[in-house]
Amino acid sequence: MSSEDYIKIFDTTLRDGEQTPGVSLTPEEKLEIARQLDKLGVDTIEAGFPIASKGEMEAIKLIVKEGLNAEICGLARVNKSDIDAALSCGVGCIHVFIATSDIHLNYKLKLTREQALQKAIEGVEYAKSHGVQVEFSAEDATRSDLDYLKQVFKAVEDAGADRIDIPDTVGIITPARIYQLVGEIKKTVKLPISLHCHDDFGMAVANTLAGIEAGAVRAHVTVNGLGERAGNASLEEVVMALHSLYKKKTRINTRLIYETSKLVSELTGIMVQPNKAIVGDNAFGHESGIHTHGVLSMPLTYEPIEPELVGRKRWIQAGKHAGAHGILAELREMGWQPNEDQLKEIVEKVKELGDKGKTITDTDLSAIARSVMRKTTEEEKIITLADLAVMTGVKVVPTASVKLIVDGKEYVAAETGVGPVDSAVKAIQKVTDSLANIRLKEYRLEAITGGSDALAEVIIKVEDRNGNVASARATGEDIVITSVEAMINGINKILIKRKQAQSHAK
């Protein structure tokens, strides 16, 4: 593909994405993400802000040493020491920036417009004299005086910059205004234009796309939309919208989008919201009867793209909105083949539970199917809790011991933890990790009612080594026992799934 034929993806997950509050990656973690981004096909990896710390420089050097296909870029202010720090990492591209809005010039930099212009020119000339690619960003461009912004961009073009970037630093632009702004800048500067949009009003993706429609050729994005405050334009949304709605190409292998999102979420510790476009848990899930019926007859009825295109699978959830078609599809996936009458009865029971406000998990559906289809209920539990003892106090290290029955055999384990729940969960994990390789992935505690005798609801997600994930919940007055019950429900769910898959394979 000639470079004019496609929109370039400048990924800043490892720089702006790492500026997400609470995120801090080790050099090894940054390297792992960089390898994945390269596999995904991004054109540029902004690996970090070299001057920020020794660890940051170490990470960038590690990434450079890897010899990836993507261009590796480092961020620098337009001063010698920042640029030298980036150069010493061996990057092929330096992303230099200085703010151009009066708010930043007056209150942050304490510079006149003329002084900032001079610094921009000197920074670009200095970086360029070292033979690297130079991308110049006018920080807070969208709140800058247009004539001054044009003057700065023109000056850095003359100083040798290879490309310019329009950052919407506080996410205040609108699609119509960025379309117009890109058009204005294009009248003054011949260089390729990048866009760097933040999501403070939830418009980073729309603004990026509008700017591209106006002629920008490079999108600064982050995986899962991570970034300062509300984040940056998300890679997955920009890329999929470009491919599917704008019919514009990128070099991204879209089938690797989901695994990239999962890796970034795991290493940064930032969970993806379930209703997030493209990579959220629910993005390809269907519950309502009308939708599941439609999707099962023709997926395009309620899916804009095939889930496989982004490395995902569609799923259908039983619930009070579900219809017989959806429930039947889900039952079949779990290995059940109900006849018409049995299906009718199962659907009725699912709806009854839904009306009582219950979310129907796979285990619930399996249990309903089992009871309707006259199977034994004992099968439902492969692991049961025989005993639980917890000790905690002001001067006592919280300790829990559990006795579990697994396939008729007794296992006992004890563990300490930061609190009674932590120690109980760890004790269970000690047994199940060695027996079934199942680990706790997520834990959430919610109070359903108020007061000190509040009913607690514990929602957990467990995962086995093969990537089978099950979520489960339990409700009760004692948070330790309820947590243990939720954990055991989740483990049973995975074990039952495995058992059904085995019997299905026979």
Question: For binding to ligand KIV (CB under 6 A), which residues are involved?
Answer: 16, 97, 137, 139, 167, 169, 196, 198
Say which entry of Zn ion, ligand KIV, none residue 236 contacts (CB below 5 to 8 A, set by partner kind): none
For residues 145 and 158, give the distance between their C-alpha atoms in angstroms, rounded to a whole number: 20
For residues 121 and 116, give the distance between their C-alpha atoms in angstroms, rounded to a whole number: 9
Nearer to ligand KIV by Cβ, of 141 and 487: the residue is 141
Sign, CA dihedral 339-340-342-346, equals positive
Nearer to Zn ion by Cβ, of 264 and 421: the residue is 264
Q: How far is the CB of 169 from Zn ion (least distance, A)?
A: 6
Nearer to Zn ion by Cβ, of 16 and 330: the residue is 16
| Helices marked H in 169-321 | 175-188, 204-213, 235-244, 257-268, 289-297
Say which entry of Zn ion, ligand KIV, none residue 11 contacts (CB below 5 to 8 A, set by partner kind): none
DSSP 271: P
Q: How far is the CB of 168 from ligand KIV (least distance, A)?
A: 8
Nearer to ligand KIV by Cβ, of 80 and 358: the residue is 80
Q: How far is the CB of 44 from ligand KIV (least distance, A)?
A: 13
| CB-based burial label for 274 (10 Å; 0-12, 13-18, 19+) | exposed
Q: How far is the CB of 159 from Zn ion (least distance, A)?
A: 23
Nearer to ligand KIV by Cβ, of 13 and 492: the residue is 13
Q: How far is the CB of 198 from Zn ion (least distance, A)?
A: 6
For residues 157 and 159, give the distance between their C-alpha atoms in angstroms, rounded to a whole number: 5
Nearer to ligand KIV by Cβ, of 140 and 362: the residue is 140
For residues 31 and 66, give the distance between their C-alpha atoms in angstroms, rounded to a whole number: 8
Say which entry of ligand KIV, Zn ion, none residue 222 contacts (CB below 5 to 8 A, set by partner kind): none
Say which entry of ligand KIV, Zn ion, none residue 415 contacts (CB below 5 to 8 A, set by partner kind): none
Number of Cβ atoms within 10 Å of the Cβ of 297: 9
Q: How far is the CB of 494 from Zn ion (least distance, A)?
A: 40
Nearer to ligand KIV by Cβ, of 203 and 295: the residue is 203
Strand partners, 167: 196
Nearer to ligand KIV by Cβ, of 12 and 492: the residue is 12
Are 248 and 6 in contact by the 8 Å Cβ rule? The answer is yes
Reference 13, options 171, 256, 220; nearest CA is 220
Are 404 and 386 in contact by the 8 Å Cβ rule? The answer is yes
For residues 56 and 30, give the distance between their C-alpha atoms in angstroms, rounded to a whole number: 9
Are 468 and 490 in contact by the 8 Å Cβ rule? The answer is no
Sign, CA dihedral 303-305-306-311, equals negative
Q: Could you give the string, one character per residue 334-373, with x where binding to Zn ion holds by CB under 5 A and - elsewhere?
A: ----------------------------------------
CA distances from 479 to 197, 390, 404 (A): 43, 12, 19
330 binds Zn ion per the rule CB under 5 A: no
Q: How far is the CB of 96 from Zn ion (least distance, A)?
A: 14
Helix, strand, coil % in the chain, rounded to nearest 5? 45, 20, 30
Say which entry of ligand KIV, Zn ion, none residue 139 contacts (CB below 5 to 8 A, set by partner kind): ligand KIV
Say which entry of ligand KIV, Zn ion, none residue 231 contacts (CB below 5 to 8 A, set by partner kind): none
For residues 342 and 199, give the distance between their C-alpha atoms in angstroms, rounded to a whole number: 49
Q: How far is the CB of 50 from Zn ion (least distance, A)?
A: 16
Both structure tokens of 176: 């119509």
Stretch that binds Zn ion, among 16-24, 30-38, 58-66, 410-418 (CB under 5 A): 16-24
Q: How far is the CB of 196 from ligand KIV (least distance, A)?
A: 5
135 binds Zn ion per the rule CB under 5 A: no
Reference 155, options 189, 106, 178, 131; nearest CA is 189
Say which entry of ligand KIV, Zn ion, none residue 137 contacts (CB below 5 to 8 A, set by partner kind): ligand KIV
Beta carbons within 8 Å of 86's beta carbon, 6+ residues apart: 50, 51, 60, 74, 75, 76, 94, 127
Nearer to Zn ion by Cβ, of 198 and 276: the residue is 198
Nearer to ligand KIV by Cβ, of 127 and 353: the residue is 127
Both structure tokens of 8: 């370039």
- Which of 9, 10, 16, 238 lies at the binding interface for Zn ion (CB under 5 A)? 16
Both structure tokens of 25: 């990656």
Q: How far is the CB of 432 from Zn ion (least distance, A)?
A: 43
| Chain contacts with Zn ion (rule: CB under 5 A) | 16
